[in-house]
Amino acid sequence: DAGVIQSPRHEVTEMGQEVTLRCKPISGHNSLFWYRQTMMRGLELLIYFNNNVPIDDSGMPEDRFSAKMPNASFSTLKIQPSEPRDSAVYFCASSVRQGDNQPQHFGDGTRLSIL
C-alpha cells in the first residue's frame, strides 16, 4: 500500500520567496497532521485536520504559515514570505480518526533550506 507521499523531498530557496509543500495522505485516513522537525526542538505539531477541516492550528508559528486541505487526498503547507529560520524538515502524517488512538503514519518529509 502507498504510504504518505510528500513533495518536494528537498527545497532550497531564497529568503522572501513563497514555499509550498505538498502531502498526499494514505487513502482512507481522515486525519492529517503537519510537523516541523529541527535539532533544537525535535518534532513540533503545526496544524492538524479532521475530514479536511482544520482543528488545531495553535502550533503554526506565524501568519506567514498557512495550510489547506481542499480534499481528502491532498494538503498543502505554504510559507510566505520565507525566512532562514524556517529551515527544517517538514513532515506530513495521517491516521484514521483518533477516537481509537490510532497511530500516525509519516511521510519521508521535505527538507527545506532558506538562504
Partner 1 sequence: EDQVTQSPEALRLQEGESSSLNCSYTVSGLRGLFWYRQDPGKGPEFLFTLYSAGEEKEKERLKATLTKKESFLHITAPKPEDSATYLCAVQAGGYQKVTFGTGTKLQVIP
Residues lying near partner 1 in the complex (CB under 8 A) are found at 4, 31, 33, 42-43, 45, 48, 50, 55-56, 91, 93, 98, 101, 103-109
Closest distance between partner 1 and the C-beta of residue 12, in Å?
16
CB of 108 to partner 1, least distance (A): 5
3-state DSSP assignment of residue 12: strand
| CB 48 to partner 1: min, Å | 6
Q: Considering beta carbons, is residue 45 or 72 the nearer one to partner 1?
A: 45
Q: Which is nearer to partner 1, 55 or 115 (CB)?
A: 55
Q: Locate 13 and state its grid cell.
A: 530557496
Nearer to partner 1, 8 or 16 (CB): 8
